[in-house]
Amino acid sequence: MILERAERDNLSIVKFHCHPSGYEKFSDIDDESDKALFPSIYNWLNNDIPCLSAILLPNDKIVIRHVDDTGKFLPASATVIGDEVVYHSSTQEESVPYEEFEKRNLQTFGSATRNILSNMKVAVIGCSGTGSPVIEQLNRLGVGTLINIDPDVVELKNLNRITNTKISDAHAERYKVDAIADALNAIGLPPRVISISKSIYDPEVIKQIATCDFIFGCVDSAEARVLMSRISNFYLIPYIDIGICLDADGNGGVNNISGKVSYFQPGKSDHLSRKSVLLSTLEAETLKRVSPVEYKNLLDEGYIKGVVENSPAIIPVNTYASSIAVLEFLARIHDYRNEPNSDFAQQTFCLVNNFFEHKKESDFAESKMSDKYEGRGDLPLLLDMPIFSPIQEVA
């Protein structure tokens, strides 16, 4: 029984019905039905998770509202995540005057997409080579709130690729997110900027990411990539990942310049099922983080392959990959392609060999964790991971 499962797994209930005629409002009959039904549902579930009532319309639009435990109606919104990301609300979009800087964006994507962008909260995890140009583009597209996450400080060695940072930031050892935030605020465009100079493995950081509408992963770590996939599945957040490989001999010889931009939707494939993260690399990184001494011993003895560090990077390659990623983000909320979005689950390029390919979601196996973790949200044990247990945190 649905109510029994919702009670057991601490889930919400959403009641759907259709209006075949296309009537876009809740009728008097709908009101009476919801007022009678939902107090009984809350009484059964005995939790404080909001329940919703929704109308399915012939044009694929959904009108939705929150019904509380007294039968009172409150505004609500919902997101349908798939090959496209579609936003539904209980309220009519108001005509908001546009800023002059938005004029060209509006000419390209129109007011509906502009309104979506202005209401979005986007997390950018990793604010260096690929993350900083992503942030720059999202800021000028008018994304409502940017949450920038990176625990590292600006160094002289990475000024060649972090946009909106200065030599003075490196000398002062400022956090990357703070230096970038100051630059964005000085530009003066509307997006709100939230800077988090902590690791993604901080429980409070994960809770912040869980409130977002979209995730950009701009990190080199296999461990962080797998964690972002897990957050995406738990909290039903679409996630775009950027990876770069630049192989040079240090003396001007370039062997490889390639990259990968991947779109992940909850309940489908993840890094492990796509084999974009190798289990051996994941295990090595985890060991290095939790037990550096044991990691070094096993590395010295040849039992494990070391974690690759300090690979070369330059701003044109990073910006190229970041632009592909932001265009992919736009394609998911404003489907501008002639080909279906489902064909672009993964895009790979090689600039040395002039190579570009894309793969479909159906080319990859579904994540083994999808059924267990999809849409579970907050659990007593965060992300159902022992690392976040109270005992672990005290230790």
How many Cβ atoms from other residues are within 10 Å of residue 285's Cβ?
20
Residue 149, domain member (yes or no)? yes
Query: Domain containing 137 — which CATH number?
Result: 3.40.50.720
Q: How confident is the model at residue 92 (pLDDT cuts 50, 70, 90)?
A: low
Look at residues 40, 58, 75 and tell me which one is the last residue of a structural domain.
75
Ordered alpha helix ranges (H), the chain = 2-9, 28-45, 103-119, 131-141, 167-171, 176-187, 203-209, 222-235, 271-274, 279-290, 292-300, 315-333, 370-373, 390-394
- The alpha carbon dihedral of 105, 110, 116, 118 has a sign of positive
pLDDT at 27: 94
Residue 120, domain member (yes or no)? yes
Shared domain for 58 and 170, answered yes or no, is no
Residue 292, domain member (yes or no)? no
Q: Measured between alpha carbons, how far is 271 from 339 in angstroms, rounded to an integer? A: 24
Range of the structural domain that residue 65 is part of: 2-75
Q: 80-94, 114-128, 244-258, 331-345: which range is least confident on average? A: 80-94
Whether the CB-CB separation of 31 and 19 falls below 8 Å is answered with: no
Whether the CB-CB separation of 176 and 154 falls below 8 Å is answered with: yes
> What is the arithmetic mean of pLDDT over 136-164?
96
pLDDT at 8: 84
Residue 138, domain member (yes or no)? yes
Statement: the pTM of the whole predicted model exceeds 0.85: yes
Give the number of domains in the chain: 2
Shared domain for 27 and 67, answered yes or no, is yes
pLDDT at 94: 56
Shared domain for 386 and 342, answered yes or no, is yes
pLDDT surpasses 70 at 134: yes
Shared domain for 60 and 110, answered yes or no, is no
Shared domain for 212 and 273, answered yes or no, is yes
**Alpha-carbon distances of 375 from 4, 233, 239, 279, rounded to whole Å:** 17, 6, 14, 24
Residue matched to tokens 């009519």: 92
Q: How confident is the model at residue 288 (pLDDT cuts 50, 70, 90)?
A: confident
Any bridge partners for residue 64, and if so which?
A: 54
Residue type, 106: L
pLDDT surpasses 80 at 218: yes
pLDDT at 313: 83
Residue 304, domain member (yes or no)? no
Burial 88-107 (b: 16+ CB within 10 A, else e): bbbeeeeeeeeeeebeebee
Q: Measured between alpha carbons, how far is 111 from 362 in angstroms, rounded to an integer? A: 33
Record the tokens describing residue 239, joined without a space.
């996630």
Q: How confident is the model at residue 391 (pLDDT cuts 50, 70, 90)?
A: low
pLDDT at 155: 96
The CA angle 150-155-157, to the nearest 5 degrees, is: 120
Closest residue by Cα to residue 318 from 136, 190, 151? 136
pLDDT digits (tens, 9 = 90+) for 185-216: 999 999 999 999 999 999 999 999 999 999 99
> What is the arithmetic mean of pLDDT over 226-255?
92
Q: Measured between alpha carbons, how far is 20 from 62 in angstroms, rounded to an integer? A: 12
Residue matched to tokens 């630049």: 246
The CA angle 167-164-254, to the nearest 5 degrees, is: 80
Shared domain for 67 and 142, answered yes or no, is no
Shared domain for 142 and 256, answered yes or no, is yes
Shared domain for 66 and 105, answered yes or no, is no
pLDDT at 297: 72
CA 99 to chain centre: 27
pLDDT at 395: 45
pLDDT at 302: 66
Shared domain for 24 and 135, answered yes or no, is no
Shared domain for 43 and 128, answered yes or no, is no
Residue 373, domain member (yes or no)? yes
**Alpha-carbon distances of 286 from 282, 290, 311, rounded to whole Å:** 6, 6, 20
Shared domain for 31 and 157, answered yes or no, is no
Residue 302, domain member (yes or no)? no
Residue 296, domain member (yes or no)? no
Record the tokens describing residue 199, joined without a space.
């690791």
Q: Measured between alpha carbons, how far is 116 from 307 in angstroms, rounded to an integer? A: 40
Record the tokens describing residue 250, joined without a space.
């240090």
Shared domain for 70 and 119, answered yes or no, is no
Percent of the chain past pLDDT 70, that is, above it, reads 93
